Chains A and B, each alone.
Chain A
Amino acid sequence: MTQTPSAEPSPARALHAQGVTKRFGAITALSSGRISVGKGEIHALLGANGCGKSTLCKIIAGTVSRDGGTLEIDGRPADLKSPREAEALGVALFYQELSLVPQLSVADNIFLGHEPRNAAGFVDRRRLIADTEVLIARFSAVAGSGFAAGTNVSRLSPDQRQIVEILKVLARNPSIIIFDEATAALDKRQVDLFFSILRTLKAEGVAIIFISHRMDEVFEIADRITVMRNGETVAEYGAGEVDRDTVVHDMVGKLADHQREARPPRPAGETPRLVVSSVSGGRLRDVSFSVAPGEILGLGGLQGQGQSAILQGLFGAEPFARGEVSVDGRPVRLRRPADAIRAGLAYVSGDRGRDAALHGRSIFENIAAATLVSERRRFVWPSALKPRFEKAAAGLNTKYAGMEAPIGSLSGGNQQKIFIARWLATDASILLLDDPTKGIDLGAKGDFFELARDLAAKGTSIVFYASEDAELLGLCDRILVFNSGAVTAELSGDTRDAFHLTRAAYGETA
Chain B
Amino acid sequence: MSALRDSLRGRVWLVTLAALVTLFLVNLALQPNLLTPNVLKSNLTVFLPLVLVAIGQTYVILGGDIDLSVGSIVALVNVVTVSVIAMTGGETGGILLGIAAGILTGLACGLFNGVLIAILRFQPIVTTFATGIIFGGLALRVLPTAGLPVPAGYWRTYAGNVLGIPTVLWIFVFALLAIAFIARRPFLTHLMATGGLRTAAFQTGLRVGPIRIGAYMLSGLFSAFAALCLTGETASGDPLMGRLLALSSISAVVLGGTALAGGRGSAFGSLLGALVIGMISNVIFFAAIPFEYQTLTTGLITLLALAGGVLVSRR
Residues of A within 8 A of B (CB): 63, 82-84, 87, 93, 95, 97-104, 108-109, 112-113, 115, 117, 121-123, 152, 168
Contact = CB atoms under 8 A, between A and B. Distances in A.
Interface string B186-202: 10011011011101111
A101 B184 contact: no
Interface residues of B, number: 23
A93 B200 CA distance: 12
Interface-centre pick from B192, B196, B263 (highest chain A CB count, 10 A): B196
Contact of A122 (B185, B192, B207): B185
Contacts of B201: 101, 112
26 contacts: A83-B203, A83-B204, A83-B205, A95-B203, A98-B200, A99-B199, A101-B197, A101-B200, A101-B263, A103-B195, A103-B196, A103-B259, A104-B193, A104-B196, A104-B263, A108-B189, A108-B193, A109-B193, A112-B201, A113-B190, A113-B206, A122-B184, A123-B184, A123-B185, A152-B10, A168-B204
A117 B186 contact: yes
B264 interface: yes
Nearest to A116: B186
A100 B202 CA distance: 11
Interface in B175-233: 184-186, 189-190, 192-193, 195-197, 199-207
Interface-centre pick from A63, A98, A104 (highest chain B CB count, 10 A): A104
Contacts of A99: 199-200, 203-204
Contacts of B10: 152
Say whether chain A's binding surface is mostly helix, strand, loop, or mixed. Answer: loop
A307 B211 CA distance: 38
B205 to A, nearest CB: 4
Contacts of B197: 100-103
A109 B204 CA distance: 9
Given A101-B263, A123-B184, A123-B185, A112 B190 contact: yes
Contacts of A123: 184-186, 189
Given A104-B192, A123-B185, A113 B204 contact: yes
B196 A83 contact: no
Given A102-B196, A103-B196, A103-B263, A82 B205 contact: yes
Contact of A87 (B186, B193, B205): B205
A457 to B, nearest CB: 43
Given A100-B200, A101-B200, A117-B186, 13 more contacts: A82-B205, A99-B199, A102-B263, A103-B192, A103-B197, A103-B259, A108-B193, A112-B189, A113-B205, A115-B186, A121-B185, A123-B186, A123-B189
